[in-house]
Amino acid sequence: MEITQQGNSVLINGVRDLDLRETLDCGQSFRWVEREDGSFHGVAFNKAVDVSLNGDILKIDNCTLEDFKNIWENYFDLTLDYGKIRDDISQIHPILKEAASYAPGIRILRQEPFEALCTFIISQNNNIKRIKGIVQRLCENFGEKINDTDYAFPTIEKLSSLCEEDLAPLRAGFRNRYLIDGARKVASGEVDLEKCRTLPYEEARKELMKIVGVGVKVADCTLLFGMHRVESFPLDVWMKRAMKVLFPELTPEDFGEYAGIAQQYIFHYSRMHPDLLTEKN
DNA sequence: ACCCAGGAAATTC
DNA sequence: GAATTTCATGGG
């Protein structure tokens, strides 16, 4: 990877295994918007950027070399060799091999832990389109304004200072209570998100499940997308169907130390081929 | 009107 | 304890 600065942009040459749409619009982050020209606009770590990819050249606008090294290289997980991981996990099962080669540009973003926690609390019994709307309103109402059009994700302190009724503008329904409980327990230290990066997996899960409204699935997604615990294997409705129909002889443990990456390949593949999961198949 | 949505809590059996 | 119902909201 060769990195150069060009005006207000940073160019990264030689980026492999990255497709912006597959990665930013596959249900792991809910804050990226695709533009007409195929670029993506989004906010993370209090910075708003435009990202585009031409061949193997990644361009990040409104970005300094420092921001790239401190934030975006990590955010897009560019130091992990997904080609190698794909080769390895492809040996687990032929259908996984097919799913991985179907969308080889999926990467697991390294999002902010608190943002991942909140967005996956919001995700429960909900659809991706509405999740995006609620998250957008959450940022507009309670996040710091960082330019004409963009808002940072709300801080832990800000959200923990609110009550359920304050969140009414989100129209998130019963999830308001869960968001407040999560913010308060994280703010008080009762739930330690940083510890979840290194705790044994089951203990990290339990730590997050102290929050009302966080069960196994939301905990697994928070660990995978917020703490980069790539051994996590979240089972949502799609994945449960996929396991039953496509991998009846396998258990989550069979997917190994990169199960979370395999999960994303399978999740995306299943959503793109819903007919594969109907009863007769 | 009915059913579902990257689930989890509350209630009932 | 395991199975079922409820929880707000919006879209198909």
What letter would DSSP give residue A50?
E
Residue A72 CA and nucleotide B4 C1' are separated, in Å, by 36
pLDDT at position A280: 41
Position A258 confidence tier, pLDDT thresholds 50, 70, 90:
very high
Give, for A53, the enclosing helix (H) or strand (E). strand A47-54
Residue A85 CA and nucleotide B7 C1' are separated, in Å, by 30
Residue A79 CA and nucleotide B12 C1' are separated, in Å, by 51
CA distances to A6, A185, A242 from A109, rounded to whole Å, are 25, 25, 23
Write out pLDDT tens, residues A106-138.
Answer: 999 999 999 999 999 999 999 999 999 999 999
Walk me through the domains of chain A, giving residue ranges and CATH numbers. Answer: 2-79 (3.30.310.260), 113-227 (1.10.340.30)
Looking at chain A, how many residues does it have?
Answer: 281
Which residues make up the interface with nucleic strand C when CB must lie under 7 A?
A 125-127, 129-130, 168, 171-174
Cα A29 to Cα A21: distance, rounded to the nearest angstrom: 11
Nearest nucleotide, CA A124 to C1': B7
Predicted model pTM: 0.97
Residue A215 CA and nucleotide C1 C1' are separated, in Å, by 18
Closest CA to the C1' of B7: that residue is A124
Nearest nucleotide, CA A176 to C1': C8
Write out pLDDT tens, residues A64-119.
Answer: 999 999 999 999 999 999 999 999 999 999 999 999 999 999 999 999 999 999 99
Residue A125 CA and nucleotide C5 C1' are separated, in Å, by 14
Residue A63 CA and nucleotide C7 C1' are separated, in Å, by 43
Average pLDDT rounded to a whole number, residues A254-271: 97
> Which chain C positions have some atom within 7 A of a protein CB?
7-11
Residue A261 CA and nucleotide C4 C1' are separated, in Å, by 34
Mean pLDDT of chain A: 97
For residue A22, give the nearest of A128, A81, A86, A104 by alpha carbon. Answer: A104
Residue A79 CA and nucleotide B3 C1' are separated, in Å, by 44
Give, for A5, the enclosing helix (H) or strand (E). strand A2-6
Write out pLDDT tens, residues A143-160.
Answer: 999 999 999 999 999 999
Closest CA to the C1' of C6: that residue is A174
Please report where in the chains the tokens 């330690």 appear, as a residue.
Answer: A192
Cα A85 to Cα A90: distance, rounded to the nearest angstrom: 8
Write out pLDDT tens, residues A154-208.
Answer: 999 999 999 999 999 999 999 999 999 999 999 999 999 999 999 999 999 999 9
Position A140 confidence tier, pLDDT thresholds 50, 70, 90:
very high
Give, for A119, the enclosing helix (H) or strand (E). helix A113-122
Write out pLDDT tens, residues A228-255.
Answer: 999 999 999 999 999 999 999 999 999 9
Closest CA to the C1' of C10: that residue is A130
Query: Is residue A281 scored above 60 in pLDDT?
Result: no
Nearest nucleotide, CA A173 to C1': C8
For residue A166, give the nearest of A135, A138, A132, A200 by alpha carbon. Answer: A138
pLDDT at position A279: 54
